[in-house]
Amino acid sequence: MREKGNRHYFVDLHVHIGRTEDNHPVKVTASRDLTFAHIAQECQFRKGIDMVGIVDCASPRVITDIEKMLNSGEMMELADGGLRYHDRVTVILASEIETKELNGGLSHQIAYFPFLKNVKAFSEKMRKIVTNPNLSSQNSQITAQEFFYMVYTFGGIVIPAHVFTPYKSVFGSCSVHLKDIFNTSTLKKIPAIELGLSADSCLADCLRELSDFTFLANSDAHSLSKIGREYNVVMMEQPTFKELLLALKRKKSRKVVANYGLDPKLGKYHRTYCKECHTTAKGSPPVFFCEKCHSGKIKKGVLDRIMEISGSCSSISPQHRPPYYHQIPLEFVPGIGKKTKEKLFKHFGTEMNILHNTSRQELSKVAGPRIAADIILAHKGKLNLLSGGGGRYGKVKRDAIKNNKNSFQKENLI
């Protein structure tokens, strides 16, 4: 039930830019199609995302692209923060930076800013700190705490990115506690943390220290098709930076009302992976050695890392925690190729509309009864999965349905 005056918005706050409009690289590992303009268009016409956080906006070349769109009238800056694209999609300006702790641990932190002037001032500062300010996620050689002070000075907020992934994250490669990285005063000013691929709320709530934080499920998209792979439903009066911040802080009836994302089993880093014999762990977590060749040359999985830190799989979610729905996006559903997706988009519009507002009967008329059934099962998280690991996604098992209801049970985690 919606509070009076508030609406529900689909929000994905972690999308990368692959190239500028002049074809200069930004996120080297991202698709060339991921330009600032293409992201906004994809959110409006195919994904149905109402608010998107673009995390490479401090690149001077990206700032040039943004200013061109503002000057052309394609976008306008909102009084309460954010940029409105064609009066449909709100863009939140952000910058993902790599920080380095005294112990050598690396993590990614995302700074979000209300206005372009804040981003431009922050960008000028980063020119003196990183080797190439035009590229994404550069190593800043400063700690996460120092990064927070800098961002706060320029009117932004900091959210730790994909906090459990084995590469460059707070828990995955830096520490076992947030307090080892941020001081007490700073932790009170961090409004949310991003769970990242291979984790969900139930897993994260094994760590008691996270109970006060709002959780975000964002896509970290490196291609247009991955936008909205994970997303949030956020209750706000308007899709603006000011309202988003109220929602993350759970103030004035604004809040995140649901997280949607892949079942952690589908994530690329869910289980420990052996780099010697390329085997993904299947035994009870945590697994520290390969179960097949007994090698210690492993990449620890998210599930295994959380179990290592928490010492158990006892998950207790606070009252404010919204449900996390395991949902498989269209591109993961077996049998749905490019042509089928185009037919679905042509008839029903955006992916959000297909997943949230379209009946099985309506889908059957366009895609056939079998694919329609699988889309419904995918939306409800009821397709059986094989766990991913070592940078490889898990797989959806065709013609197999699971019976659990996203409950946190040990047998469902492995």
CATH number at residue 366: 1.10.150.20
* End-of-domain residue from the set 230, 263, 296: 263
Helix, strand, or coil (residue 275): coil
Q: Do residues 213 and 346 share a domain?
A: no
Q: Is residue 398 part of a domain?
A: no
Q: Do residues 208 and 343 share a domain?
A: no
Q: Do residues 152 and 46 share a domain?
A: yes
pLDDT of residue 400: 46
Best CA proximity match to 89, nearest among 58, 49, 129, 127: 49
Confidence bin at 386 (pLDDT 50/70/90)? confident
Residues 6+ apart with CB under 8 A from 283: 291, 414
Residue 314 has pLDDT above 80, yes or no: yes
Alpha carbon distance 73, 89 (integer Å) = 14
Q: Is residue 414 part of a domain?
A: no
Q: Do residues 333 and 259 share a domain?
A: no
Helix, strand, or coil (residue 180): helix
* Bigger pLDDT: 83 vs 198: 83
Q: Is residue 370 part of a domain?
A: yes
**Least-confidence region, from 148-157, 274-283, 403-412:** 403-412
Q: Is residue 202 part of a domain?
A: yes
Residue 382 has pLDDT above 90, yes or no: no
Q: Using a pLDDT cut of 90, give the percent of the chain over it.
A: 83
Confidence bin at 2 (pLDDT 50/70/90)? very low
Q: Do residues 342 and 205 share a domain?
A: no
Q: pTM for this structure?
A: 0.93
Q: Is residue 212 part of a domain?
A: yes
Alpha carbon distance 219, 217 (integer Å) = 7
CATH, residue 35 = 3.20.20.140
Q: Do residues 342 and 249 share a domain?
A: no
Number of domains the chain contains: 2
Q: What is the pLDDT of residues 317-365, one digit of tens each?
A: 999 999 999 988 898 888 898 999 999 999 999 999 999 999 999 999 9
As a whole number, the mean pLDDT across the chain is 92
Q: Do residues 225 and 346 share a domain?
A: no
Q: What residue numbers bound the domain in which 215 lies?
A: 7-263
Q: Do residues 213 and 347 share a domain?
A: no
Q: Is residue 32 part of a domain?
A: yes
Q: Is residue 216 part of a domain?
A: yes
Q: Do residues 29 and 138 share a domain?
A: yes
Confidence bin at 406 (pLDDT 50/70/90)? very low
Q: Do residues 355 and 213 share a domain?
A: no
Confidence bin at 399 (pLDDT 50/70/90)? low
Residue 407 has pLDDT above 90, yes or no: no
* End-of-domain residue from the set 245, 263, 281: 263
Q: What is the pLDDT of residues 197-222, one digit of tens each?
A: 889 999 999 999 999 999 999 999 99
Q: Check if the beta carbon of residue 152 is closer than 8 Å to that of residue 189.
A: yes
**b/e sequence 130-158, b meaning 16+ C-beta within 10 Å:** beebbbbbbebebbbeebbebbeebbbbb
* End-of-domain residue from the set 210, 232, 263: 263
Residue 151 has pLDDT above 60, yes or no: yes
State the amino acid at position 40 in one-letter form.
Answer: A
Q: Is residue 403 part of a domain?
A: no
Q: Do residues 45 and 124 share a domain?
A: yes
Q: Do residues 79 and 165 share a domain?
A: yes
Alpha carbon distance 139, 134 (integer Å) = 12
